[in-house]
Amino acid sequence: MSTRYIESERYRLDPLALEMLVCPMTKTRLSLNADHTELISPAARLAFPIRKGVPLLYIEEARQLDDAELEKLKQRDRNR
């Protein structure tokens, strides 16, 4: 088992906490990315990092999502 897997399990974001979190810019719901390392705000086109299980919901910490990433997320959500 890799160290990254162990650490990600150790610091997993609580699903109940995720239900309460919203984007600080748009106040819309956030979703986890595929590898559970970021919270995604499609409305703001931002990805907020999660470090040691703590979401960093600062605009300064977020990275911009490009069109390809947004389309991939929409496809993933449609398939759920």
Q: What are 14-38's pLDDT values in tens digits?
A: 788 889 999 999 999 999 988 889 9
pLDDT per residue as tens digits for the range 41-53: 999 999 999 998 8
pLDDT at 9 (0 to 100): 62
pLDDT at 49 (0 to 100): 96
Mean pLDDT of the chain: 85
Tokens of 5: 């897997």
Contact 15, 35 (CB under 8 A): no
Structural domain harbouring 48? 3-78
Q: Tell me, what amino acid is at 78? A: R
Q: Which long-range contacts (CB under 8 A, 24 or more apart) does 7-10 make?
A: 7/52, 8/36, 8/37, 10/53
Which CATH number covers residue 28?
2.20.25.10
List strand residue ranges (DSSP E) for 7-53, in order: 31-32, 38-41, 46-51
Domain count, the chain: 1
Q: Tell me, what amino acid is at 16? A: L
